[in-house]
Structure 1
């Protein structure tokens, strides 16, 4: 495998694993890096009333950890593993392109996202999803 593909896999693994760790921290009850749960909720789901419960957050953490392992090549180089990496890359790129409001709607959150979430999404979340999606998708080549 080329060094470029190794670097792309490292980026995908690091980003998804970090996201999994952050969601696990939130599932444990911490609001870090926000000062409190209300502030965290505004930052990650767009309003102060819709913070997902610990079980839902653990599911996201587990999915991100599994995604990190797949992105890193943990399932090998077979057709299924390559297909999963391609699907993950496309899904992450779709989230980047569609934006946070579309993602929140898909999650069934009823209220429109607030200004804080929209700013964070524009500045950080969308570029991060785009970079991870591109890394995972480009690393899926055989």
Structure 2
């Protein structure tokens, strides 16, 4: 069995719990069947159990269960099972210096173009606002020159 280590750790953990004689402890002739039932519960979790990644986590979770006041279920075990450690971060990608320079050059060119495009948009917006202001001023002058009830 590929997961012999797991069944071994389950058996050892359950034996420790068995020695505590907590309320709800299975009878001594059922400990082997209890271990197999727990192993089935582990299989239901759909975890690809890995000795290197999981053995210490399994041992620590069983050690936590030694503090229970009654015989725990597999669900209680899984509540105490820590998450796997995150894998180490990948190193930064290696980029050829020539390619890095080409990308930097392209980035600078795009930056300049965006600044020019933005400046052109601002200039067009300013021209439009100036024209609208000039039209308003012209209407104000015209409205002021027109006197009520007659001609100017």
Q: Establish whether TM, by shorter chain, passes 0.5.
A: no
Please identify the structure whose Cα radius of gyration is greater.
2
Which TM-score applies when normalising by structure 1? Answer: 0.21
Higher relative contact order (CA 8 A, sep 6+): 1
